[in-house]
Structure formats: C-alpha cells, structure tokens
A and B are shown apart, each in its own frame.
Chain A
Amino acid sequence: MCSVTKEQVYDELRTIIDPEVGFNLVEMGLIYDVEVDDSCNVVITMTLSTKACPLHQMIHQWVEDAPKRIDEVNEVTANIVWEPEWNISMAEDNVKQALGSL
C-alpha cells in the first residue's frame, strides 16, 4: 500500500512556476487530475494555456520530475490533454485578480 497522497503531489507541482505569467501550474488550473496507485506510480493529467507554448517540452519534464522528490514515488507520467480547453475560470482567484479578470 502506498502512503503518498494526492495532496503531496499537488504540493510538489505547486513549486513549478510559469516564468511568463509568474504563477504556479496548480493555481493556474493547468493540473486537471492526479492519480496515485497502490505501487506509488503517479499519473498526472494536465494542460497548457496554449498549444503554442514554447516551454511545452520543458514544463512537461518539470511536471514529471517534481513528484519524484517525494521518497516513495516510483514512475511519474504526465499526460497533456487539450480537452477541456483551459480558460481563466479554471484558475484560482488570486491569479484572476492579479491578471485583472476578477
């Protein structure tokens, strides 16, 4: 049985900051789901704010690396999806406020 929680994974993902907007991926609402199985393998479903993101590959790598900082975690897979398409309503209120959208 794996003792790693979703919250621990989210906490690690909160350390990844998009250098263009200055917010972390979780508060931007770019992480759609996190699953942790009994063998401590992590599957992350995520999106990006645009398909043309020049940091696409790098952000994907950061997301796969971040949960590995938790001792028990084995494999990490990050799947980038485009449905549903990201929009500002998915972001946390502090992001909306900072961008002037609230």
Chain B
Amino acid sequence: MFSISKDYAPPFKMIEPFFKFGAIAYLISIISFLFFNVDVSLLDLKVVGWVHMFLLSFVMIVIFGAMAQLIPVALEIGHYNVDYYKPIFLTLSIGSVLMVLGFWINSSLLPYGGAIVLVSMVLFLYETLKTLKKTDSNTLTVRCIKGGNIFLTVAIVIGFLMALSISLGFNIDFNRFLPIHIVLVLVGYVTITVIGMSMILLPMFGLAHGYDGSDVELSFKILVGSIILFSIFRLLAWNMLSYIAIVSMLVGIGLYLRQLLTLYKVRARKINDIWYMHIYTAFISLAAVVVLVLLWLLFDSDAILKTALWLFLIGFFVFVINGHLIKIIPFLVWFERFSPLVGKKKVPMLHEMLPSKEVDISFWLSLAGLVSGALGLLYSSDTLFKGGVSLLVFGALFMLKTVNFILDFKPEE
C-alpha cells in the first residue's frame, strides 16, 4: 500500500499572494516593455532592471508559490515546514521591488534589494533541502530539484557580488561573471526546474503512461554537465570552449523536446484544451530558441540573440507558467473551498472554475503579441515590436482578470 501524505496542499491563504503578486508583476513588466526600442543594448541598466523585475517578481515568485504545492506532489512527502513560505514571499516581493528600483532609479538601493532577495532564496533553499532530506526517492524530478537549487545558490551569490560592485564601485569582471549568472538562473534553475516538474505534470494532465523516459534522463545529465563546464570555461576566460558548452546545452534541450514528443504521442487525453495550447506555444518557442541560438553562434547577430531571448522569456517562460497557473490555482481553490463539500452538495469541476472567454482571449492576444514582438526584434522594426507588446499588455490584463476570478471563486450560499 502506498503511503499517503497529509500535506499535499499548502494552506491556500499562504500561497494566494504569490500568484496575485506574480500576475500583477507580469502585467507591469509587459507594460514597461513599451518604453524600450528594438535597438536597446542588452547591457543597458534599464534592460537589466526589467529582466530582474520579470524574473524575480513574476517567474521566481510564481515558481516558488507553485513549488509549495508541487514539491509534496512530486516527492510524495510533506514539507519540512511550509510556514517558511510566508517570509519567503515577503522578502522576495520587497527585495525584488528594491532591486528593480536600484537598477532604474538609485543604485544605492541595489545591495539592500539584493540582500533581501538573498535572504528569500536562502530560506527557500533551506526549506527545500530539508524537505528533500525526508525522502529517499531519487527520481528525475528529485534530481532536477536538487540540481536546480544548487545552481540557484551559486547564481544568487554571484548576482549579489555583482550588485555590490555596481553600488559600491569595486571591480568585478562582468564579462566573466554575468554570462555565468545568466546561464545558472535561466538554464540551471528555471529550465531544469521546468524539466523536472514537467515530467510529473505533463503525464498527469495528459494521462500519458508506459513511455520510455531515457531522452529526458540523458538531457538532464548533458545539461548539468554543460552548465558546469560553461561556468568553468567562462571563469577561465576560455571563450571558445564556452561556446562548445552552449552547443552542448542546446543538445540537452533538444533531447528534452524529443522526450516531450514521445509524451505527446502516448497521451490518452487528446482534446486540445487551453492548457495544451499554452504548452504547445511554450515548447515550440523553446524549439525556436534552440535554432536561433545556433544561428547566433554562427552569425553573431544582435537581432537574432534578442529574438532568441524574447522567445525564451516570453514564449517559453510566460506560456509554460500561465498555462500551469490555470491548472494549479483552480486546484488550490477547489481543495480549500469545495473539497469539504464533496458528497454534501454539487461541487464544480476544475475546468468550470475558469472564465473560459477571458482565458481564451488572454491566450490568443498573447500569442499574437509573442509572434509580432519576435518579428519586430528579428527585423529591427519598432512598429512590429511595440504592436506585439501592446497585444501582450491586453493579454496580461485578461490573465490578471482570470487569476482574480479563480481566486474569488466561492461556493454558492
């Protein structure tokens, strides 16, 4: 008999702010895109500030909130202490706002914001590692959570040192450390976490069984190896070898995509609902990123690099996150408010808790915005880029409306 955790769902009130804050931060970060032109330098502090707002206030905060729910599901054990998520939210939300203000307005705020974000990350890492210690399980998902968190630790230490150097003026070689920081966060933490959780969530939602998982196993090993090698090569300024490590990462991502294709073929749930549409967009974007990064390595084109980053951040991250928000939040609300009513009165199905019109509008506007924005960056057209961003703004507004609708969904009196 399989042992059953009593802590599969964290207290709803504790997790709710992560999603509310994330949806608002997503809207603000998309609106702020309107103030950028396609020829902006990627090293401009305005861009760096935007990236931190997007990654910390939206991506990380939603991932952390989702992990409060997903870690027990993935590991089949309860949290070490789920109460840690209260200070994690508080410090991450305050720290990320201070960091963005530090990049945009007053650099003296950077070390304070950076230090508070560091505290948040340390709390998250501590809680996650203590939870991991409770299990002997060594599934791919467990290894992804472990690996991702180790990469995140190194990334935030490097990030904090860079934040200190900007505000205090001491010398640090950004050419060496910035690429390592970027790769550790984007690939080492976010992508590896997505890979780990997707191997639980995609078969669960798609009802996929009896498939061969060797592609994703190999993908994980290649990614971990190439991230470590990339970091060492950049540190030693062996730039040519670091490009080989990037190609190796692309091979790892390619294998992961092939694994997804296998899952797609064996899934029992073949109806293409709005969750599937988000997932298709996310992974087609990721496939396009692989191709574009290869082209960038060959042609060293700024426009290609910007398009790849756009598709990675907006195409992959946004769609994979928003797609899962419309799965995870209804479940948490249902679990909190409706599960005690089962057998006593009629309870809604999870899909009935979604405002289907708003979700559809959000998806299609965002998809159109993604494509237009990508073409704008590729062909250096401000008109196409800003047109795309405008569509994304409306998509984000509808997503915020959707999140609020689900969070307010209550049983009829």
Q: Which residues of A contact B (CB under 8 A)?
A: 15, 17, 19-22, 49-58, 60, 62, 65-66, 79-82, 85-88, 91, 96, 98-101
Determine the residue in chain A with the shortest Cβ distance to B4: A57
* Complex-state Cα separation, A62 to B339, whole angstroms: 10
Determine the residue in chain B with the shortest Cβ distance to A49: B207
Assess the A19–B269 pair: CB atoms within 8 A.
Answer: no
Q: Mark B188-219, 1 if CB is under 8 A from A, else 0.
A: 00000000000010011101011000000000
* Complex-state Cα separation, A52 to B8, whole angstroms: 10
Assess the B4–A56 pair: CB atoms within 8 A.
Answer: yes
Q: A85-B209, A88-B268, A100-B271 are in contact. Are A19 and B349 (CB under 8 A)?
A: yes
Q: Which residues of B contact A (CB under 8 A)?
A: 1-2, 4-6, 8-9, 69, 72-74, 76, 200, 203-205, 207, 209-210, 268-271, 331, 334-335, 338-339, 342-343, 347-351
Number of residue pairs A-B, CB distance < 8 angstroms: 83
Contacts of A98 in B (CB 8 A): 271
A85-B209, A98-B271 known; 18 other A-B pairs, CB under 8 Å? A22-B349, A51-B76, A52-B204, A53-B73, A54-B69, A54-B72, A58-B342, A79-B1, A80-B1, A81-B1, A85-B210, A87-B209, A87-B268, A96-B268, A99-B207, A99-B268, A99-B269, A99-B271
* Complex-state Cα separation, A62 to B209, whole angstroms: 25
CB distance from A93 to the nearest CB of B (A): 13
Assess the A19–B209 pair: CB atoms within 8 A.
Answer: no
* Complex-state Cα separation, A60 to B269, whole angstroms: 23
Contacts of B4 in A (CB 8 A): 56-57, 60
- 20 pairs of residues in contact across A and B, judged by CB atoms under 8 Å: A19-B338, A20-B349, A49-B207, A50-B203, A52-B200, A55-B335, A55-B339, A56-B5, A58-B339, A62-B342, A80-B2, A87-B209, A88-B209, A88-B268, A96-B268, A99-B268, A99-B270, A99-B271, A100-B269, A100-B271
Q: A52-B74, A56-B8, A57-B5 are in contact. Are A65 and B269 (CB under 8 A)?
A: no
Determine the residue in chain A with the shortest Cβ distance to B201: A52
Contacts of B69 in A (CB 8 A): 54
* Complex-state Cα separation, A14 to B352, whole angstroms: 20
* Complex-state Cα separation, A82 to B209, whole angstroms: 12
* Complex-state Cα separation, A100 to B269, whole angstroms: 6
